[in-house]
Structure 1
Amino acid sequence: MERLTVGKYNLICFTDAGKKLMLTLGEKLNDRNAFDAENVENLSDFTSEVFNEGNVLIYIGAVAIAVRAIAPFVKDKTTDPAVLAIDEQGNFVVPVLSGHIGGANEYARQIAELIGAIPVVTTATDIRGEFAVDVFARKNNLEINDMKMAKEFSAKLLRGEDAVFTVSPRAHSEDGLFLIPKCLVVGMGCRKGKSFEELEEFLLNTLKENYLDVRAIKAMVSIDIKKDEEGLKMLADSLSVPFVTYSADTLMAQEGDFDSSELVLEKTGADNVCERAVSAYGAEKILVHKTAKDGMTIAIGVQT
């Protein structure tokens, strides 16, 4: 067995013919003239290493090899990576896993075109030319509120029935399919040493009280003197969003009607941290104005 890594593409082959195809495909994927393959001693170890969201796994050999290799690692269609199998002669490219959300169907078509193969796509919405809501969500950086509802949405289309969804950052309790845009900017300030747990509870309660979905958060923002505040950094990491900070001068340069505090101005150089930071990030509107609790402040804006 030999492997090749080209950016997000992780290829493995099992025969000499497969190696030849792997090297050819590697060159086409990266527009280079030569690659060096590496030996692989354990297929399970290789799969474990590269089975990460955002990667594309390509097994050049029988589909059954790919299926057995990935079986212990498959978890959820919303996070599993795209997995493809290509026969060693390069005749067929088969999406094995995560055809829509992971993009395997699309990658199969692209790779098939590169090597002159036939993409073998079997998902119902694709072969019937129907709208695929999960593909739409992935391409537009939207989160799906409920995968079961997304499945029923597709089933309705396939039955010839009408199906609808809503795009909104709002948290909805009623039934229905919602696609959640990454559009909320959370500005936070806090006393030094505030714990991750306190900050997280404050954020989640604020979102709940204002009917906003946590999955809509695209960034956390604050003032530069808080750039190393562990609780805030941990909170941003837990949300998988960037933590962006601004100087006091930048915050004070923002135009708008902000909740001003002389005490905050004296301590930080800016009369308002959370609202001004949201504005500095580029939010067009503040949905939740400055709210304070136990040495913490929060504001939430929307950037479309």
Structure 2
Amino acid sequence: MKTEKWAIVTLSQDGMVLAQRILEHLEDKKCQLYTKEKYANETATIITTDITTFMGSLMNEYQMICCIMATGIVVRAIAPYLQHKSSDPGILVMDTKGEFVISLLSGHLGGANDAARLLAERLKAQAVITTGTDVKGTMAVDILAQKIKCAIDNYTDAKDITALILNDDLIALDNQENCDLEAVILPKNIELVTGLSNLNRYAGVIITSQAIKKPELPIPSVKLVPRKLVLGIGCRRDMPAERIIQAIQKTLTTLDFDQKAIKSLATIGLKAEEPGIIAACAFFGAKKVIIPNEMVQMVQSRFAASEFVFKTTGLYAVSEPCGYVASQFGKCLLEKQKLNGITLSVWQDQN
């Protein structure tokens, strides 16, 4: 797991004093301190633009941004760059005395609530958390999805169901994929059920990888999609991204899988910088996994060999060995498919 990157930003001398304390207490994080030139020391990087422009430069670079300044300044500075709760970084705000740590943005998915608690504990400060489910001690849909490694099909639906959870309405959870819920403490008003037909009395949370649309029920519901699909992929050199994306979509449609279920695309080192594969990973929000040739050679005898592939790669197979290894030697859901210069195989991750 990569070390979490934090930016510590301050615009005052008192803020610098607190920033140094934060650095001392966050040795397990990768922290970078930013301030104005007149307050900078050897540990700080100088802010050379206005604060709004500067904050924009940080938004895609750090998982957590801790601002030691007035909340109003931070709100105005980050406002032009906010995208969505699923992608915005966590934003914390602290007063220069270090008495309060405010979780301002992306409290759940961005981790700001947990970060505020962590920092407050280490600095002997008070965490300020305002998200309703945290205040009430219950659980939001996005946190449930995060804990069981699922994608949210529709964030508006998730918000609506979270509001019902917070309101103590009875919610049915249909765990069609048998996701591990053992370590998840569900709110008392969430009841496990089996089968969609049992949802007709409640609001529903449905966990499924299938490409079904939200059930036509007279009640609100949200679909959570487990990210367990690994696609082994090979392609001719400079294969256009559009063709790779379309091939993947067509393959998943045939299998009746939701494309949000894709966890990773696995290929060999020779294809590591293939623009079409990189673009497909970005399109599906999937991780690119490179399988070393040695690992492919260890398992390739399990799969049909291709002399053409051997002549071009030195390996007898690409798609299936890569998918097999990347899925933790998981279940094959679809053997290699040849799609006009693209080969795909589909696997269910064992992790």
* Interval of TM-score (by shorter of Structure 1 and Structure 2): 0.7 to 0.9
Give the TM-score taking structure 2 as reference length. Answer: 0.75
Amino acid at match of 1:286: C
Aligned pairs for 1:149-228 (under 5 A) are 149-163=157-171, 164=173, 165-175=205-215, 176-227=221-272
Q: Does 1:75 align with 2:120?
A: no
User: In structure 1, what residue type is equivalent to 2:79?
Assistant: A
Question: Retained in 2: the 8 A contact 1:109–1:119?
Answer: yes
Q: Distance in 2 between matches of 1:262 and 1:51?
A: 48
Match of 1:136 among 144, 152, 161: 144
SS in 1 for 2:338: strand
The corresponding residue for 2:64 is 56
Letter in 1 for 2:337: T
Asked if 1:17 corresponds to 2:17, the answer is no
Q: What's the offset of the Cα at 1:159? A: 1.9
Contact 1:221 1:243 survives alignment (8 Å): yes
**Equivalent residues, number:** 297
Q: What residue is the counterpart of 2:344 in the other structure?
A: 298
Unaligned runs of 5+ residues in structure 2 are: 32-40, 174-204, 216-220
SS of the aligned residue for 1:18 comes to helix
User: Over the residues paired in the alignment, what is the CA RMSD in angstroms?
Assistant: 2.8
Aligned match of 1:89: 97
Structure 2 residue matching 1:171: 3-state secondary structure: coil
The 3-state SS of whatever aligns with 1:253 is: helix
More deviation, 209-218/235-244: 235-244
- Which of 20, 23, 26 aligns to 2:23? It is 26
| 1:73 Cα offset (Å) | 1.2
Q: Give the secondary structure class of the aligned counterpart of 1:242.
A: strand
Structure 1: 5+ residue stretches without partners: 1-5
Corresponding residue number in structure 1 for 2:131: 123
Distance in 2 of aligned mates of 1:36 and 1:18: 14
Cα deviation for residue 279 of structure 1 reads: 1.4
The verdict on how the C-alpha distance between 1:255 and 1:35 changes in structure 2, with shifts beyond 3 A counting, is same
Counterpart code for 2:133:
T
The letter for the 1-side match of 2:129 is V
Counterparts of 2:114 and 2:6, CA distance in 1: 14
Distance 1:19 1:144, change over 3 A: same
State the secondary structure of the residue aligned to 1:148: helix
Q: 1:259 touches 1:290 (CA, 8 Å); kept in 2? A: no
What TM-score, normalized to structure 1? 0.85
C-alpha separation between the residues in 2 aligned to 1:225 and 1:85? 45
Q: 1:228-266 CA deviation, whole Å, 9 max, x = no partner?
A: 54433443354442141443x643532886455566567
- CA distance in structure 2 between the aligned counterparts of 1:179 and 1:44, rounded to whole angstroms: 36
Structure 1 residues 256, 166: CA separation in 2 closer, same or farther (over 3 Å shift)? farther
Equivalent of 1:286 in 326, 332, 340? 332
Q: Deviations over 1:197-256 (max 9, x none)?
A: 212211111112212222322222234554454433443354442141443x64353288
